[in-house]
């Protein structure tokens, strides 16, 4: 799945955000995709995208000589950058849309799939999304918010959450955050004052003791800030999910972490145990992280069963059914975004293919030795 492409820019001085169309009469959309050299219909649009090489003296923003545009569907939202890069912000025919609020982060996790960048991108992303959000279809079922650490936008984070509530009141928002900013009660209070009932804040917690969590996220005092942040969010009525990535550093205390969550955070709405994604920092830290999923099923079963038995809502993400014992299948979810989800040839033989979540495309680099088709006949 392509989310970014590039061409040669002409007369583009600032980023342009809009919905794409291939229909000249569709003037309520902002960006026209054309395979012709020139048409008067171009003047109706904010910009034109084309695979054709165009040499023009027209005062129309154009990206030309683009290799492919067939990944874009009618109504998709894109941002056209001054360097000719075209990023897809929203795909109309997908249920896996997300808004990347920033690439900065105040943690540096061993297994971060999108390593943070130390640059101030606040203006760029705030401007991009404040223009894009009103263009998103009102019937959009769910949008993810991710980073970096989204809360580093400060007050602009709050403005975007408020705008999402106003423009898309029926859309579920799933915000990935390390939770540390909410250790300052006024931040949690401001989110609470927005009163967005469809906002879920997904916070990672990797151990029941501070030194392991802090080591995994590579940030001093992160455990204490995260726990305080969770309590502050709960105080102001926010929906909270706990996320636990499964790897060599988290497995030894997994059962103890499950008990810690039940005893200390019983108010959280959901707990997700997540398989490792082989992207970003994971490849560099693979010796510190990798354990074949089959080898930690006893610990995972104990943790999941404990929480479930006490009535807590538990899921397993990013796992293949053939690596899980059958008693855990009911907790497994198809969680991997469509643009990075794959199945091996062996998977196509499996009787449970439709129920299995498959794996990350990056799993080709490193995956369980026990991937095999399951047969019932």
Class of domain 98-364: alpha beta
Domain positions in the chain are 4-81, 98-364
pLDDT digits (tens), the chain, 377 positions: 788 999 999 999 999 999 999 998 888 899 999 877 667 777 889 999 999 888 777 788 999 999 889 999 999 999 999 999 999 999 999 989 999 999 999 999 999 999 999 999 999 999 999 999 999 999 999 999 999 999 999 999 999 999 999 999 999 999 999 999 999 999 999 999 999 999 999 999 999 999 999 999 999 999 999 999 999 999 999 999 999 999 999 999 999 999 999 999 999 999 999 999 999 999 999 999 999 999 999 999 999 999 999 999 999 999 999 999 999 999 999 998 888 898 998 999 999 999 998 988 887 878 999 999 999 86
Per-residue model confidence (pLDDT) at position 377: 66
How many helices (H) and strands (E) are present in the chain, helices listed first? Answer: 8, 17
- According to the CATH classification, is domain 4-81 in 3.50.30.10? yes
Strand 4-6 versus strand 85-90 pairing type: antiparallel
Alpha-carbon distance of 2 to 4, in angstroms, equals 6
270, 311 Cβ separation under 8 angstroms: no
Alpha-carbon distance of 140 to 137, in angstroms, equals 6
Angle at 122 between CA 121 and CA 124, to 5 degrees: 65
Domains 4-81 and 98-364 share a fold: no
48 has which bridge partners? 32, 62
User: In 3D, which of 57, 55, 28, 24 has the Cα closest to residue 42?
Assistant: 24
């Amino acid at each position: 799945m392509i989310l970014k492409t590039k061409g040669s820019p002409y007369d583009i001085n600032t980023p342009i955000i809009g919905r794409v169309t291939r229909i000249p009469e569709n003037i309520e959309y902002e960006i026209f995709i054309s395979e012709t050299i020139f048409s008067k219909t171009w003047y109706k649009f904010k910009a034109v995208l084309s695979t054709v090489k165009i040499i023009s003296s027209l005062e129309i923003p154009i990206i030309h000589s683009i290799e492919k545009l067939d990944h874009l569907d009618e109504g998709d939202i894109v941002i056209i950058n001054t360097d000719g890069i075209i990023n897809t912000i929203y795909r109309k025919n997908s249920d896996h849309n997300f808004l990347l609020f920033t690439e900065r982060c105040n943690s540096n996790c061993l297994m971060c799939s999108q390593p943070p960048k130390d640059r101030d991108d606040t203006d760029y992303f705030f401007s991009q999304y404040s223009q894009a959000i009103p263009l998103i279809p009102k019937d959009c079922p769910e949008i993810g918010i991710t980073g970096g650490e989204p809360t580093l936008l400060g007050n602009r984070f709050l403005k975007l959450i408020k705008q999402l509530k106003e423009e898309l009141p029926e859309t579920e928002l799933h915000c990935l955050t390390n939770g540390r900013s909410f250790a300052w009660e006024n931040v949690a209070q401001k989110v609470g004052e927005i009163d967005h009932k469809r906002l879920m804040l997904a916070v990672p917690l990797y151990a029941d003791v501070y030194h392991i969590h802090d080591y995994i996220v590579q940030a001093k005092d992160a455990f204490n800030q995260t726990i305080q942040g969770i309590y502050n969010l709960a105080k102001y009525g926010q929906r909270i999910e706990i996320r636990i990535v499964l790897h060599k550093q988290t497995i030894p205390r997994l059962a103890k972490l499950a008990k810690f969550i039940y005893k200390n955070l019983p108010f959280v709405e959901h707990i997700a145990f997540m398989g490792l994604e082989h992207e970003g920092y994971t490849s560099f830290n693979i010796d510190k992280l990798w354990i074949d999923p089959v080898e930690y099923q006893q610990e995972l079963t104990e943790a999941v069963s404990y929480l479930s038995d006490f009535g807590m809502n538990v899921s397993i993400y990013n796992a293949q059914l053939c690596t899980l014992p059958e008693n855990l299948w009911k907790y497994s979810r198809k969680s991997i975004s469509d643009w990075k989800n794959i199945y091996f040839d062996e998977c196509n033989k499996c009787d449970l293919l439709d129920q299995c979540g498959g794996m990350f495309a990056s799993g080709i680099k490193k995956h369980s030795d026990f991937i095999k088709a399951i047969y019932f006949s």
